[in-house]
Copies of this chain bind each other. A is one copy, B any other.
Amino acid sequence: MPNPTAAMLVIGDEILSGRTHDKNTHYLAGKLTEAAIDLVEARVVSDDKDAIVAAVRELSGKVDHVFTSGGIGPTHDDITADCMAAAFGQSIDVRDDARAILQAHYDSQGQDLNEARLRMARIPDGATLIDNPVSKAPGFTIENVHVMAGVPRVFHAMVATVLAGLSGGQPLLSETWRVEMGEGDIAGPLGELVTAHPDVSFGSYPYQQHGVYGSNIVVRSQDNAALAGAYAALQSVFPA
């Protein structure tokens, strides 16, 4: 059975202007690989309602799970929750369950749950909350879309919660073999290995280190025996 598929949607002008370097996609990619869920696409869009709504609708229809990061804070440019409601035709307002979480948090800090902070309790109807153990303001799941914070520590915690509830497919196994030859010399023999081992995927990732060209050849398969056979053949074609 093929693995479930996923897409990542990063929301934020600050990524597209180059001000902030998105590290959440890379983090999620690694976690999904461990969970045997195939990340098939990632996108970054700006804090623009039309762009967010169009992207989430398209990705939601294309893959099993969409993960989003960014735009769920208290400031005027945090419009993700309202966009998700619009994308799925749901109404949205401050929700009692989310308000209770924030009220308890700010009470314990001796801080005021003011109008701006209350924006973080705006949750679309029908959505399920995602726990935020770091700073409390929850994310949420609506249809097949998991809406999470952009702050990396919070994003990581929310990903852990969401992945615990999803079932992946058969984990993808991999082996890496380092070949100290340029890709141009590797490509011919590698092409023959690719043809001879149809149940295994081969990737070639070139590097240059201390003036020496080389490549890490990665073999991947869900079938352990097929992987072992291909890896042995790779080592014999490119001896250490």
Binding site for B on A (CB under 8 A): 13-23, 25-33, 38-46, 51, 73-77, 106, 111, 114-117, 119, 151, 172, 182-188, 190-191, 194, 201-206, 218, 220
- The count of identical subunits is 2
**Residue among A14, A184, A205 with the highest chain B CB neighbour number at 10 A:** A184
Task: Report the separation of the CA atoms of residues A17 and B220 in the bound assembly, to the nearest whole angstrom.
Answer: 11
Report whether A187 and B41 are in contact in the complex, using a CB–CB cutoff of 8 Å.
no
B30 touches A18 (CB 8 A): yes
Contact with A194, one of B14, B43, B73, B76 (Cβ below 8 angstroms)? B76
Of chain B, the residue at the smallest CB distance from A13 is: B203
Asked, given contacts A73-B206, A188-B116, whether A44 binds B41 with beta carbons under 8 Å apart, the answer is yes
Contact between A33 and B18, CB atoms less than 8 A apart: yes
Known: A18-B26, A29-B16. A184 touches B74 (CB 8 A): yes
